[in-house]
Amino acid sequence: MKIIAANWKMNGSVRFAEEFVSKINEVQTNHKVIVFPPAELLGQFQGFRYCLGAQNSAIASSGAITGESSPRILYDVGCRYVLVGHSERRTLFREDDKVVFAKWQEARNAGLIPIVCIGERRRRWDTLQKQLSRLRGQDLSQTIFAYEPVWCIGTGVTPPPEEIDDVLYFIKGLVGKQSPLLYGGSVTAENAKSILSVNNIDGVLVGGASLDIAGFSQIMQASV
Ligand code: PGA
């Protein structure tokens, strides 16, 4: 069993979410499926048979932080997972490793399982080491990691499977084997099977391709 996660980013609509839920509910899979819609659409997932997550959560669960999403309330509305430190958050909102750590901590306090995203710009593995430095030595039993090389996100480019395997092996060496490790960046219905066959992989985080319901259903059914 692998983890198949869908990050819609800031896409979708009420109508699309309704269609997605009704069609994906019909799809059988042995994998664990987690969907991360925009927070505004979480309410459309009543009756969804798979898992739900949020794309972001705040560094605190309550208080005076206008416009942020409380991890406690996200849990309350049905989320069990949250993405932390996605490269778009790190770049567009200048979230540094300190903020990522605070969000990881607060998400766990609220009962959410954080999926901590890490990724380097130019095949510089020391970046990954730096991004993980605060988390190393912590209790990572309820944490998932997603390796998403920045140069592969939304570009249609993926590293060769052997390279993905090498990086995942490197990351497991840093964080231990207890945390599931996903790959993300231009995963599609066409390449999902070969990526999911990589040795050290526990699943995939799918962005753009998760908005194509038929294609995402195929990824959910990839036999590995
Ligand atoms: P992509 O995005 O699949 O569209 O490359 C992946 C992600 O950002 O999680």
Where on the phi/psi map is residue 209: left (φ > 0), alpha (ψ -120 to 50), or beta?
Answer: alpha
Q: What is the pLDDT of residues 190-218, one digit of tens each?
A: 999 999 999 999 999 999 999 999 999 99
Residue 30, burial from CB neighbour count under 10 angstroms (0-12, 13-18, 19+): exposed
Percent over 70 (pLDDT), the chain: 100
Cα 163 to ligand 1 centroid, rounded to whole Å? 18
Residues contacting residue 161 through CB under 8 Å, at least 6 positions apart? 194, 195, 197, 198
**The whole model's pTM is what?**
0.96
Residue 126, burial from CB neighbour count under 10 angstroms (0-12, 13-18, 19+): exposed
Cα 204 to ligand 1 centroid, rounded to whole Å? 10
- CB of 181 sitting under 6 A from ligand 1: no
pLDDT band at residue 18 under the 50/70/90 scheme: very high
Q: Ligand 1: which atom is nearest the Cα of residue 185?
A: 5
What domains can be seen in the chain, in order of their start residue? 3-220 (3.20.20.70)
- CB of 179 sitting under 6 A from ligand 1: no
Q: Ligand 1: which atom is nearest the Cα of residue 210?
A: 3
d(CA 208, CA 216): 10
Is-catalytic flag, 31? Answer: no
Q: What is the pLDDT of residues 50-68, one digit of tens each?
A: 999 999 999 999 999 999 9
Residue nearest to atom 1 of ligand 1 (CA): 207
**Which candidate, 100, 163, 89, 87, places its Cα nearest to that of 133?**
100
Pairing assessment for the beta strands 113-118 and 144-147 based on DSSP bridges: parallel
- CB of 208 sitting under 6 A from ligand 1: yes
Selected catalytic residue, list 86, 95, 106, 120 = 86
